[in-house]
Amino acid sequence: MFPVGLSISQSPRVTNLQQPERPITPALLVGVDLGLPFFDTELEELGLLAQTAGLTPVARLTCKLKATDAALFIGSGKADEIKQLAIQLVVQEILFDQSLSPAQQRNLERHLELPVNDRTLLILQIFAQRARSHEGKLQVELAQLRHLATRLVRGWTHLERQRGGAIGLRGPGETQLEIDRRLLSERVKILEGRLQKVTVQRSQARRQRERGKLPVVTLVGYTNAGKSTLFNALTGADVVVADQLFATLDPTLRKLGGLASGPALIADTVGFVRDLPHDLVAAFRATLAEVRDADLLLHVIDAADPERCQRIVEVNQVLAEIGADALPQILIYNKIDLIDGASVGSVGVDSDQQTRVRVSASTGLGLDLLRTAISQDLNHAHWHGDIKLPLSAGRLRSRLFAAGVVDTESAEEDGWKMAIDGPESRIVPLFGLPDGDGEWLRARLKSVSAAAR
């Protein structure tokens, strides 16, 4: 397939896959090992992404490089080898596991005479296919347009500048590229305005939940870790479950019963993935706010995944990016029934004081222990007690109401008497209020004997 005498470290390694009888869009997967940790030598995840997008991987090719080529990313020699293999396998699309610059993508398409896409665009395409709600479609379109804005080129070279037709206009007018940029910018502003309204609506819904005093538990984790299966098992819901990436895009909330701490709300959210496009994270901030504003995170991990430790790191990186890394977590090792000899339902605490629970969402084993762990964490991360605010603390009073932690209030001549009741995730941020308000609140709550940590 390639010239004899090329070593693996110097040349691509090709693994042929069994081809289906009628491939929809045959694709060649390309991965470049740049010496970074956790390189996917089998391009397994890229293959799953390609299949999720409706493509059919027919071969996977990896190579090692010390540095990328500014023009073709992999250099002209490797590009020629890819072109030769693509012709031999009748490939219709080339997929790179790394992100390509706009110039690199254009140059590779000219050189290979085939469509070339990278991991970022592939994920955006999958999200576009999976978006069902109005909000989800807006978020995906915004992410796609932001990505497209960096890839606009003057493809209309056969056109001259558009002449202005009105009297008094000076200059040669706009080029087609300038028109495209202007139209794209206008569309982005429209989408941002619509998503801002969605953000306001979600904030109002969260405030209603806060007034109802129901804590919110949110499922997070790497895509295809079994979050939706666990969500259905805990709530009896019928959220779509599929053995594929990004089966769930739109957040779903249900009431979670059977907790010793009382009822709670549980949310199922979109799964994370390595190198999640920044444009996508930015566009999905309204949806990901369900994660950031949760009282407790249930971090679902595929216990049978050999890369689970790296998956945990990658999920925590996304949580940090959206400002949710400080929230309390329960690590849930799901699919434990797929591991021989593993104890189902065991509970432990690691060195970071994070609770670990082993369950099988598909069989239901370990779910009772999980409910117990959720109740204990919600109770542990809860504050309640009575405080008295002076009349001069009107601003602090407003912040307490805005945070939804005031249970009852009675007005007195010299101030207000309040019963504070709320999760740690809403109380602790108030300790950072300026002008001494935060420190005053911290001291008062800690001095109340009923305050529970």
Specify the pLDDT at position 377: 85
In the chain, what is the straight-line distance between the N-terminal and C-terminal CA atoms, in Å?
A: 65
Please, what is the average pLDDT of the chain?
79
Report CA-CA distances (Å) from 393 to 396, 404, 409, 417: 5, 17, 14, 12
Specify the pLDDT at position 169: 46
Using the predicted structure, report yes or no on whether residue 38 has a pLDDT greater than 90: no
Superfamily of 213-380 according to CATH: P-loop containing nucleotide triphosphate hydrolases (3.40.50.300)
Tell me the average pLDDT across 308-317. 90
Q: What percent of the chain has pLDDT over 70?
A: 79
Q: Is there a shared CATH topology between the 13-120 domain and the 213-380 domain?
A: yes
Domain 13-120 - what CATH class? alpha beta
> Which of 16-25, 91-100, 173-182, 200-209 is predicted with the least confidence, judged by mean pLDDT?
16-25
Residues 91/117, Cβ–Cβ less than 8 Å = no
Specify the pLDDT at position 330: 93
Using the predicted structure, report yes or no on whether residue 436 has a pLDDT greater than 60: yes
The pTM of the full predicted model, rounded to 2 decimals, is 0.71
Tell me the average pLDDT across 434-439. 83
pLDDT: which is higher, 69 or 37: 69
pLDDT, one tens digit per residue, over 345-354 is 556 655 566 7
Using the predicted structure, report yes or no on whether residue 5 has a pLDDT greater than 50: no
Tell me the average pLDDT across 316-326. 85
Tell me the average pLDDT across 167-192. 73
Name the phi and psi angles at 386, rounded to 5. Answer: -100, 135
pLDDT band at 84 (very low <50, low <70, confident <90, very high): very high
pLDDT band at 189 (very low <50, low <70, confident <90, very high): very high
Distance CA 11, CA 30 (A): 12
Specify the pLDDT at position 286: 58
Specify the pLDDT at position 154: 44
Name the phi and psi angles at 124, rounded to 5. Answer: -60, -40
Distance CA 401, CA 46 (A): 47
Top-confidence range, 27-31, 232-236, 274-278: 27-31
pLDDT band at 208 (very low <50, low <70, confident <90, very high): low
Using the predicted structure, report yes or no on whether residue 91 has a pLDDT greater than 90: yes
pLDDT band at 331 (very low <50, low <70, confident <90, very high): very high
Residues 342/303, Cβ–Cβ less than 8 Å = yes
Q: Domain segments of the chain: what residues?
A: 13-120, 213-380, 382-447
Specify the pLDDT at position 159: 44
Residues 96/30, Cβ–Cβ less than 8 Å = yes
Q: Is the dihedral of CA 81, 87, 89, 95 positive or negative?
A: positive
pLDDT, one tens digit per residue, over 375-404 is 888 877 667 778 889 888 888 998 888 877
Residues 238/254, Cβ–Cβ less than 8 Å = no
> Which of 160-164, 201-205, 261-265 is predicted with the least confidence, judged by mean pLDDT?
160-164
Using the predicted structure, report yes or no on whether residue 355 has a pLDDT greater than 60: yes
Tell me the average pLDDT across 247-255. 75
Strands 382-390 and 415-423: antiparallel
